[in-house]
Structure formats: structure tokens, C-alpha cells
Structure 1
Amino acid sequence: MTRKNTKKNSSSNKEISALKKKIFAFLKKPDYKPASQEKLFSLCGISSQHRNAAIDAITELLTEGSIEIKNKKISLPTGKKSNNVTGSISVHPRGFGFVTPESKYNIDGDVFIPKPFMNGAIDKDVVEIEIVSKKFSDKGPEGVVKEIIERTRKTILGVIFDKENEVFLAYSHILKESKIVHVKPFTKTPLKLGDIVILKVQDWSSYPRKLTADVVNILSHIKKPSSDIETALVEYGLSDTFPQGVIKEAEKFPKEPKKEDLEDRFDLTKEETFTIDPDTASIVGEELPEKLIEIDSDIYGINTKFVEDCYPSEDGTTNRNLKSDLTKREKSRLKTIFNDIAYTRFIENEQEEPQID
């Protein structure tokens, strides 16, 4: 009788041990978010037949200090995330990023963050990341953004394209998920469609669901191409001056080209030239937003159905995610639609600049 019980306990212990490994491995996944016990069992594919053993596995993991439970949700202990580091993130126009770890971590080089693991981070944020792969490739070690510690960017640039009741809507290219910003009326000067404005975000907590900002200054208007350089400097936080070393090096070059430099060259400076791009051409920095919260037919007009098809809604929610299998032509059409909305669709004519009262 005793021998029979021992055999049964041994089998149970093996089951618990296997479930501990399975659960712990799942918690270490970079995209795992703290979940309740029942939700975790479901995510791990643990059937009701093994539920009691899974509960024992959770109990043992808790006793060992391998996991913790906060607000009835299970996760790895905060203090044991040895692969977590903090640093400043630089975001590429195509959506991925590189984090420069703080010097105290003694990590040589940047950590590459793939686009799916940016988790709402924008350029120059201070973030906490988990390094999930220390194997170096051309891009270096890889990680996932776990938390946004500080939004160091105090202002963002936006283009006014519409108004809903007393709130203006602006399109901000620097944002990586929802690019629409709700803008409060500017008290100094009435806003106009097409105004390029500097916006100050007071609270990032609701992003990307909704982002509200105040106008700091009206920088320019989209019909004034002469301000493109100034706009780019503000939008990307670039310096408008060169280091002295660069200036001294440039001064070594003559102001006019030498005769030998012009040999075998055809002078086209007085000719009118232009380029023709195919409708599938892609412009760097015009990446599509990954999510849309809602699709308003008043904004998208005849394109509403097409945009809805490209951003199918999640079951039971208003969130819409970009389809992963769009053709180049569909992507190109989407970019055209978004650009028209943000920059030209609501500008009534080239002569007048109507104000929105």
C-alpha cells in the first residue's frame, strides 16, 4: 500500500515539475503581460485535467520566489529581471528602434528593438527594456520595451486637419501608433486648416487610445514650402548649427568648382527637370500606423470602406489593427489617403486660408 502511494506521488511530482517549467518559460516570454491564474493556465494550454497540479506548481514557484502575484496577476518578480536595463531610445522612421543603455550597465553598443516590441515608445523616450537575445547580429542584441519611464520629448509637431465640436484634430508624424492628436483651441491666434503647430502633451497616460495637447506656437503652414527645413529641425530635434570642426573642414574647399571637376559633365542647371514615381513608390518616414481606434466616415469619406477593410476590428473592441498581408498597392493607397487627410484634403483652395471659428 505504501509502495503504491509512493509511485503515485512520484508521478504527481513529475507532473508538477513539468508544469513549473512550462509556466516559468511562458512568463519569460518578451510579450507576456501579467495575467490572472486562470488566464495564465489558458494561455499555457493547461487543461482542467491538470489544473490541480498546475495550482501546486504555482504554489511552489511562489514559495521559491520565482514568481510574484500582484493585484491577483502573476508575473516574474520585479527584482529578478536581471536582463532589464534602462536607456534612451532612438526610433527609425520605419518603426523599429535602438536603445542606448545607461553607462552603469557596461553594455557595449545599442540594443535593437524590433517594431512589434516598441510598445508605444517614441523617439527620445527613456525606457526600461528586457534584453531577450544577447546573440550579436548586425543589429546587436535584441530587446523589448517593458516600460516607458519618461517622455523626454516636451513637444511634438502636428498639422491641423479637422475640427470636432470645440476640439481640433492634428496629424503628428512622430507618433508611431495612433497619429491623431486632439488639440485644444489656441487663444492667441485662431487656428486654420493646414497650420503646422508645436504641441505640448500634458498627459501621455491615455496614449495611444487618445492623446490631447495644447498649442505652444503656430510654426508655419503646409502651403509654405520655404519653412520645410525649419519644420524638420523642430520635428526631429535637429541642430541648425554645425560643429566648429566641420565648419573648418568645409572652409578648406573652394567656393567654385575647378575646371577639371567640370570635365565630361553636362550642365543641366538651367533645364527644368522632374521625376516620375510609380504609384507603389515608398517614401522613407511614411510608415502606416499599426492601429486605428475608430474610423470616422466624415473624415475618410468614400475611402471609409477601404480603410475599414485594411484595419479590421478586434472581436468585442473598437481597436483596429493593420492587416499584415496588404499588397504594395493597398499600402500605397492608404498612405495617399492619410496624407490627403493630414495635409491637403481639408484645405479649400490655394488662394484663401479660411479660419475655423
Structure 2
Amino acid sequence: MNKRKPKKSSKEQKVQENLQRVTKQFLMGKSYAPMSETELFKRLGLPELHRDLFSRVLQKLCEAGEVEKKGKLYHFPRTEDDVVTGVLRVHPRGFGFLQPDVAFDFSGDVFIPKHLTMNAVDGDRVEVVVNYESVSDKGPEGRVINILTSARSHVAGTVLEMLPDGQARAYVPLLGTSARVIVDYPPKTEVVVGDRIVMHVKEWGGKDEETHCDLMHKIGHIDDPSCDVPAAVEEFSLRDQFPVATLSQARSYGTRVTPKDMEGRRDLREQMTFTIDPDTAKDFDDAISLSKDDKGRYHLDVHIADVSHYVSKGSPIDREAYLRSNSTYFPGTVVPMLPEALSNNLCSLKPNVIRLAVTVSMILDGDGALKSYEIFRSVIKSQKRFTYRQAKDVLDGKLKSPLKPNLDLMVELCGKLKKVRYERGSIEFALPELVVLVDEKGKPTGTDFVEYDVTHQMIEEFMLKANEVVATHLSENGHDFAYRIHDEPANENLREFALVAAAFGYKVSAQPTLDELQTLFDEAQHTPYGSYLASNFIRRMKMAYYSAENIGHYGLALTHYCHFTSPIRRYADLIVHRVLFGDEETFERVEEMTARCSERERISSRAESTVTLLKKLRLLKEMTEADPHREFEGVVTKVKPFGFFFEVIDLMCEGFIHI
């Protein structure tokens, strides 16, 4: 005799229908990212008594084809009509990456092959269909199906070839090496091969079509190094001129801190305070005070320029700072975020003058563990400005200074903080920096290797600690602010790096832990290929960026992190300063601001890299012309069937030899 299944009660049926509806709505949400059944159950906030019913609901949705299960993760099926919008970033070689407006099935960017960009150019807002069949461990691929808004009406480039009838062919970095750009110039206008020009786009071309432009103006000639920065300003649409209202507001503050400015602040002018910065720095964001009590505890005060006192929300300075979002640094010059009256004067923590600051005052035990902290507005007076070289010379006994005991104590605490950081799994690459030296006309005169010595390390450790303390403080108190986040590398990238490391004789697992990686970088640091291995891994990591949502920081192995210590040159830090003292923002507004700060940071980084590489190439050209038989030491970095890539060690730039 067959047993009949008991009928569901109308109440249970209704609960199941509601669960099905709520689950579908959640999975259809634009911000939904694939997750497991356990995570879904938790995110939906369902009571434990519905867990079995929820499992059956998911199974039913999968059977009906309304939900897809891939591995342990549940996805909502996508169609051709389900598109992702965002900003397209185009590489000089023609391919691109979509930076999505909102999170979707995958974190990170969407790769767009060169032939699928649909004539879109760098900075365009576009719609992209994601190809879910082409998803690899590195992320998804997609194709542009619509250009929503064009990023620009003008482009910068270099004349490559003169053509008949008042035309020329130009190379436009924005469009890539394969794009054919034709520019019309007025009669009697002198244009020659090598001229760097700005053009108005009349008609965008594509894969097999020419882009047609009109000449707007000339910047100079490619042989003139003084044009390198102006050309980058045009190419990357940097804002290098301040509006009159912005300059007027900056001048209105005068050149000195007033008694009214100091009201309500903790007076730390008698405290021993000093700065350590690069030789050429003018915008001193941070100063340090450090002492040790008779219990062996460290009293570390990190003083940061109180930019928010002068840059009020919505003011002319604030509006311009937000548009710029950061300072852009080139060899020998800078395009600042703030007017010079603030960046190099009133906000800069120069020695022997009174300055307004925000202080993070920390007490750490003898092992460098944080015991307590305070964050408050202060008045300080730095007693000394050290360069990194000067501080190192004092530590090495080459230069006498009454502050040597203070510097020795900083080295001591630095060692403790590094130990704490290493023990939690943070990575340190200790890469030297190559600074290109230029004269007043922008001509490169040589290079300077800046070693990542103990003076750099101790300032970095103190800044990292202050940033961590501020981020944790704001997060634990429920504030919306600008996190600095860093996602884990893709598994495929880790596997590839493990193979690269093995080729150099270093054995790590296919999915190396942070501890394994740090051991590798420590061992390789003083070898000829230490810098290459570190750079190779950095290129395989995902980029850190600003976000209103927190996912932690992979590289630093921190659950909470933000940028707080450089408000003169980063708008994200200014956001954090304001929130600290009650100037709150909505979550949606923070999302908007962090998206812009991240975008402008990437653009500035590309502009800086472009100009720095050009200066290196100018140096290389000069060296080889002076001595055609000169030999350069290099490291082979990648071997292909058709040739190999190498890095010129003296200039830290990559080349290729075709076989």
C-alpha cells in the first residue's frame, strides 16, 4: 500500500511562496554578488526554523532555471539585455577595462578585447554585455554595446606624417597605437612631424575607420622636454589652472595662524615635534612626536595638517579640490590639489611656525601593541625639518644633531611595529625608488636611487598605524567614510607568480600565503632579481582603491584601513578628517566621492608614469648617442617564442628584443 505524501498547509505554502519571491528579488538586485546558501540565508536574515524550507526553495528555483548554481555559489541568470554600465579605460595597445558603476556578479573590472570596444575611447561611459562563458579566474570579459556619454571632444597627440591638402596623420595615445587619426590644419599654419598638438574631434573612427580632427593649438615639439608636462596635462585632462574664486579664498586666510584659529585646540607647541620628508618636498602633511615613559610604553603622536579647517565643504577651494581629487607629481614639478598658499604654506607643517593639526595620540606597550589612543585638533610648532638623507646621516653618526636620541627611539619603535605587522601577515616589498632629475627646462639630467632605508620605514610605520587607528575608530562608531580597500589577488595570478618565482629558484606553494610571500621577498631583496619579483607580484595584485564599503586590506592584512595622513594632496583624506569632527556624509555621497577619488587617482598615476617613462627614454637616447657601444645591465623578465622582455636596471624601464 502506497503512503500518500501529506499535503502542505496553506500557511507553509504561503511561507514558501514568500521565501521564493524574496530570494528572487535579492538575487536580481544590481549589487548582488554570487554567494553560498549559508551566506544567502544569513544575508536575508531568515529565522533558523526556515533553513530546510529555504534549501528546498533554492532547489526549486534552480530546477525552474530561475537561479543557477555554479559550484557552491548561486547566480542569477543573465541575458543579452542585462548590461553593466561604467567607465571604460583604454590601454595604449587598444584593449580596455570597464570600471562598473555598481557591483555585479564579479568584483573588479571587466576586460574588453580590442575588437569589442565599439570605437569607445578612454573615459567614455558605456554599456557592456558580459560574456559569462569567457570568465576566467582573473575575471570576466565583455563587449561594449552602447556609448552613453563621450568623455571628451578633444585629444592630444603627436604629428607622425604630413599629408597633402592641409592634413597630417597623428598618434593619439588615448586611442592606442593602431588608431589612424587624420588632422586638418588651417592654411599658412606651420605644422611639422614631431609637433605635439591638441585636436578637436569631428568624427570618431573605429577599427577600420579613421578618426577626423581639427587642429586646435600646438603645445611644442617632441624634442622639447619642457613640453612633456603640458602635453600630459592635455592628454589626461588634468586641471592645472585654479579658478579666480579658489585663489581668492586661499589668499583671504593670510599667511599666519591667528589666535581665533587656535581656539578650542590642544596646545602642543612645547612638545618636541619634527618632520622627515624627501629632499624636494614642500607640502609637509605630517609631523611626529615620540617619547618613552618609565613603564617602557611608547607615546607616539602623529600630527597631520588640519586642511579641513581651511577647506570647508562646498567652498570654492573644496569644489576645485574635489574635481582634482589629488595632486599629480611629475619629475621636477607638481599639479597640486590645493592652491600653493595652502599646500606649500598655511597647511604645510614647516619648521618654527605655528600650524593647525589633527593629532592621533597613541600609547603602545613595549612590544608595539596599541593600548589606548586619542584623536583631537591641536596646535603644533615643528622644531626641525629633516630630509630622509639628513635623518639617515644622523643615525649613522655622519651628522651631529641633538635629536639623535629621538631618531634612535623612532627606529626602535619602528622595529616593534614592523614585527607586529609581519606577524599578522602584512607584505613589505622594500623597493627602491628611481627619481628622474630634471633641470628648470624639464631636461633630464640624471637619476637618483632612493633606497627604502630605515628612515622611510619608520615614517611609513607611524603613518600606517595612524591610518589604521582612525579607520577602526570611525568604523566601530558607525560612521560612513572613505575606506582604503584592497582585494585578494585572483588564484590564477597567484599560481602564475609561483611559477615565476620557481624560475628564479624560489619555491612557494601554488596558492602562497602572505607569510610565504614575505619570506620570499625578504630572501630576494638583495639579489639582482629581487626588485623584479616584487614588481611582478605587484602587477598581479588587484589595485587598492577608495570605497564606502569595507572589505579590508589584503596587502596590509588589516580589517580596517583608510587614508588620513595626506589631506594636502588627497581628497579622500579630507573626507576622513571631516567625518572625524562631525561633518557627516550619507553613505550614497561617500560612494560617489570615493568613486571619483579612485578614478582620478588612476588617471594621475597614468599621467605620472607616462611623463616619467618619457624622461627615462630621453636619458637613454642621450646616453646611447654619446656612446653607441655603451652596455647596460639588465634582467630578463619574460621569455616568449618570438623574443624576450628585459628590464634595464639603471633606468628601471622595460624593453623587448625580438628574435
TM score, norm. by length of structure 1: 0.46
Structure richer in strand, relative to its length: 2
Relative contact order higher in (CA < 8 Å, ≥ 6 apart) = 1
TM score, norm. by length of structure 2: 0.27
